[in-house]
Amino acid sequence: MKFDFLNKLFKKQKDETEEKIFQEEAFDVRDIIAPPYIGVEQDHLKLGERLSRSFFIFSYPRYLNTGWLSPVINLNTPMDISFHIHPISTELILKKLRKKVTEVSADLLDREEKGLVRDPALEAAYQNIEALRDSLQTAQEKMFRFGLYITIYENTLKELKDTELTLRSIFESRLIYIKPALYKQREGFISCSPYGMDLIGVHIPMDTAPLSTAFPFTSFDLSSNEGILYGINRHNNSLVLFDRFSLENANSVCFAKSGSGKSFAIKLEILRYLMQGVDIIVIDPENEYQALADAAGGAFFKISLTSPHQLNPFDLPIPNEKENKEDILRSNIINLVGLLRIMLGGLNPEEDSIIDEALTETYAIRDITPESDPKTWQENIPLMSDFAEVLESMSGTESLVKRMKKFIKGTYADFFNQKSNISMDKNMVVFGIRDMEESLKPMALYIIMRYIWNIIRSKMKKRILVIDEAWWMMQTLEGASFLFGLVKRARKYWLGVTTITQDVADFMKSDYGQAIITNSSMSILFKQSPATIDVLQKVFNLTEQEKFLLLESAVGEGIFFAGKKHAAITVLASSTENQIITTSPEELLKIKQTKEQTNE
C-alpha cells in the first residue's frame, strides 16, 4: 500500500516535469546570436572561435590635442571603444582645489623664506589650479571622471599581441598609456558593450576642454567642423561631415550607373544645403527634382516648345562695378556664336565672321554698346528675329538666313524667339527639360546654362548648380567648352557646380571631360559597370580593392573624394528626408497610397 502511494506520487511528479519541459520554448533569439562557447582567461576571452582582449587607459599627458583618438578609430581592426563619463560635483572639486592651492602656496612661501631657487613646476601647478578654480567658479568648465576602455577582436593570440603592440605604439607616442584588464576581461568586455555598465572603474579626472578632445567622430580622412552629413564612413563607422565650400573650389562630379543611388545622394545633399541657406539651381533631364522643389518651396520650370516658360538667348547679365562693359558684351557674343553653331549645324570660318558681326550690330541697333548706360540694357534686349533681320540686310548670308527661318517662325519660334518671363528669386530653382525634343536638348541646355550664368554673375551669392546627365552638354564641342568655362570660373562667384552622369565613357570622350574632373575638388563614385570601371580607375587612380568595391557596392554605397582625402561611404537619410527625395517606384506608390488613405 505504501509502495503504491510512492509510485503514484513519483509518476505524478514525472508527468508534471515532462509537461513543463514541453511547455518551455526550445530556444530563442539569444541562443542564435550567442557564441557557442565563452571562456574566460586572465588576459583574454574566448568567444567561440574568436578571441578578445580588453584594455583601459590609466595615464594621460598634461595636454591633449583634438583628434588624438583618430589613429585608433581608423585602424583596420574590429574593436569596441567605450567612454564612461561620470560628472563630479563642482562644489566638491572647488573644496579640494582650495585645500590643494593652500598646500602649494605654502610650499612656495616656504621656499622663498629659505632663499631656495624657484621651482618652475610648483609655480606652474599653482597657476593651473588657480585657472581651473576660476573656470569652475564661473561655470566655464565642469569636472568629470573619465574612463576609456577598448576591446579588440582577433582570431589568434599572436594577432591579439600584434594589435596590442600597435595600440601601445599609437598611444605612447602621445604619452598616453594603456594596460590590459588582467583578471577582469569579463568586466572589460561588458564595459565595452552597450549596457552602460562601468565594471572596471579606472577613471581619470578631467575638465571639459581635454575631455572634448576625445570626441570620436573625428576621422582624419573626411571630417569637418562645418558642412553637412554626407554619409557613414564604412571603414570605421564615423560620420563623414564636410563642407564643399571649404575646398579650393566647390565643384563636384558624380559618376554612377543607373539605379546605384546617385540621384538619391545628390538630392540629400541639396536638401541639407538648403537648410544651411545655400541656393540651389538644378538642370533636370527627367523632371525628377520637381517633388523636391515643391517640398522646399522652390520653383520648377518646364522647358519645352509648348511651355509657357521662356528664355531669351540674347539676355545680358547686369554688370557690377568691377566688370568691364566691353568684356561683358564680347563674352556674350562669343557664347552666342557657340549657340548658333549648334543651332545651324556648324559654321565655316566665313560664316563665323559674319555671325559675329551680325550679333554686334543686333545689340548696337538696340543701343547696347560699351558706351551706353548698362542700366538701360535690360529694357532693350533684342530677340532672335531682330538678329535674323540684321542677317538678311548683309550680303552673302542667304544660306544662314534659310537655316535660321525655322527658329524664327513656326513651332521652334515659341522657344527660341521669345522674351524671358521667369524669375529665379526662390531658394531652389529647377529647369526640367524632359519634354524638350531630343534633337533640341543640346541647344536648350546651352540657353539655360547661359541664362543661369548671367544670373550668377549679376549677384554674388552662395549657390550650388546641379547638372544632371551632363553628357548631354558634352555631345557638342561648344557645349562642353561652355560647361568647362563655367566650372573653371565658378569659384570666383561663390558657386559650386555638381556634374552628374551615368555615361562615363561618353563624358570622357570629350577633351573637356578630364579637365572638368581636374577642376572639381570633390567627387562621388557609386556602383560602376565592368565596361567603365577601367576608365575610372585610371582617372581617379583607384587601387584594385577600390575598383572591386565599386563593382560590388550596394545601392547608396561608394567612394567619397574631397581633395586628396577619400573614404568608402554609405549614404543614409532619415525617414522624412527619404519620403521627400526617394525615386523608387515602389516607395513612391506606398507614399501615394498612404496620402490617399489619410485624405479619406
Same domain? For 66 and 173 the reply is yes
Q: Measure the CA–CA gap between 308 and 586, rounded to whole angstroms.
A: 32
Question: Would you say residue 476 lies in a domain?
Answer: yes
Minimum mean pLDDT range among 308-317, 430-439, 590-599: 590-599
No. of helices (H) and no. of strands (E), the chain:
23, 18
Assign 11 a pLDDT band (cuts: 50, 70, 90).
low
Sign of the C-alpha dihedral, residues 513, 516, 518, 520?
negative
Task: Classify residue 187 by burial, with Cβ atoms within 10 Å: 0-12, 13-18, 19+.
Answer: middle
Question: Would you say residue 236 lies in a domain?
Answer: no
| Residue 172 confidence (pLDDT) | 93
Q: Give Cβ neighbours of residue 542 (< 8 Å, ≥ 6 apart).
A: 536, 550, 559
The DSSP call for residue 69 is: T
Grid coordinates belonging to 310: 521662356
Q: Give Cβ neighbours of residue 13 (< 8 Å, ≥ 6 apart).
A: none
Same domain? For 394 and 432 the reply is no
Domain containing residue 160: CATH number: 3.30.70
Same domain? For 395 and 538 the reply is no
Same domain? For 96 and 81 the reply is no
Assign 9 a pLDDT band (cuts: 50, 70, 90).
low
Question: Would you say residue 34 lies in a domain?
Answer: no
Do 499 and 252 contact (CB within 8 A), yes or no? yes
Domain containing residue 408: CATH number: 1.10.8
pLDDT 10s digits, 492-516? 889 999 999 887 777 777 788 888 9
Where is the domain boundary, 396, 419, 442? 419
| Residue 595 confidence (pLDDT) | 64
Q: At 501, which helix (H) or strand (E)? A: strand 495-501
Q: What is the average pLDDT value for the chain, to the nearest integer?
A: 85
| Residue 19 confidence (pLDDT) | 58
Sign of the C-alpha dihedral, residues 436, 437, 440, 445?
positive
Q: Measure the CA–CA gap between 54 and 49, rounded to whole angstroms.
A: 17
pLDDT 10s digits, 432-451? 998 888 888 888 888 998 89
Nearest C-alpha neighbor of 414 from the set 300, 308, 336: 308
pLDDT 10s digits, 251-263? 999 998 888 888 8
- Alpha helices (H) in 59-143, listed in sequence order: 70-73, 90-113, 120-137
Measured CA to CA in angstroms, residue 3 lies from 13, 30, 33 at distances of: 15, 44, 48
| Residue 13 confidence (pLDDT) | 61
| Residue 331 confidence (pLDDT) | 87
The DSSP call for residue 117 is: P
Please tell me which residue, 368 or 66, carries the higher pLDDT value: 368
pLDDT 10s digits, 548-576? 888 888 888 999 988 878 888 999 888 88
Which residue(s) pair with 498 in the sheet? 252, 466
The DSSP call for residue 133 is: H
Q: Measure the CA–CA gap between 249 and 113, rounded to whole angstroms.
A: 64
Same domain? For 369 and 336 the reply is yes
Domain containing residue 458: CATH number: 3.40.50.300
| Residue 8 confidence (pLDDT) | 58
pLDDT at residue 106 greater than cutoff 60: yes
Parent domain of 508: 249-311+426-572
Same domain? For 367 and 449 the reply is no
Same domain? For 176 and 58 the reply is yes
Same domain? For 454 and 533 the reply is yes
> Hey, how many other C-beta atoms are within 10 angstroms of the C-beta on 295?
15
Question: Would you say residue 221 lies in a domain?
Answer: no
pLDDT at residue 185 greater than cutoff 90: yes
| Residue 145 confidence (pLDDT) | 92
Determine what percent of the chain is predicted with pLDDT higher than 90: 28
Q: Give Cβ neighbours of residue 581 (< 8 Å, ≥ 6 apart).
A: 264, 267, 268, 271, 291, 292, 573
pLDDT at residue 46 greater than cutoff 90: yes
Please tell me which residue, 8 or 103, carries the higher pLDDT value: 103
Question: Would you say residue 279 lies in a domain?
Answer: yes
Q: Measure the CA–CA gap between 15 and 190, rounded to whole angstroms.
A: 40
Same domain? For 565 and 531 the reply is yes
Q: Measure the CA–CA gap between 188 and 53, rounded to whole angstroms.
A: 8
Q: Measure the CA–CA gap between 472 and 479, rounded to whole angstroms.
A: 8
One-letter amino acid of 454: N
Greatest alpha-carbon pair distance for the chain in Å reads: 136
Determine what percent of the chain is predicted with pLDDT higher than 70: 90
SS3 207: strand
Do 58 and 184 contact (CB within 8 A), yes or no? no
Same domain? For 330 and 394 the reply is yes
| Residue 565 confidence (pLDDT) | 81
| Residue 351 confidence (pLDDT) | 87
Where is the domain boundary, 122, 141, 160? 141
Q: What's the number of domains the chain is made of?
A: 4
| Residue 26 confidence (pLDDT) | 59
Question: Would you say residue 130 lies in a domain?
Answer: yes
pLDDT at residue 203 greater than cutoff 80: yes
Same domain? For 372 and 445 the reply is no
- Alpha helices (H) in 431-509, listed in sequence order: 441-458, 477-489, 504-509
Please tell me which residue, 12 or 503, carries the higher pLDDT value: 503
pLDDT at residue 415 greater than cutoff 70: yes
Ranked by mean pLDDT, which of 43-47, 420-424, 475-479 comes out on top? Answer: 43-47
Question: Would you say residue 235 lies in a domain?
Answer: no
| Residue 12 confidence (pLDDT) | 59
Same domain? For 306 and 431 the reply is yes
Where is the domain boundary, 419, 435, 456? 419
Nearest C-alpha neighbor of 129 from the set 95, 178, 172, 170: 95
Question: Would you say residue 206 lies in a domain?
Answer: yes
Q: Measure the CA–CA gap between 255 and 20, rounded to whole angstroms.
A: 62
Find where cell 571622471 sits: 145
Measured CA to CA in angstroms, residue 153 lies from 55, 158, 161, 179, 600 at distances of: 12, 12, 11, 16, 55
Nearest C-alpha neighbor of 576 from the set 280, 299, 268: 268
E strands present in 320-391 = none
Return the half-sphere exposure (C-beta side, CA atoms, 13 A cut-off) of residue 400: 27
Q: Measure the CA–CA gap between 11 and 306, rounded to whole angstroms.
A: 92
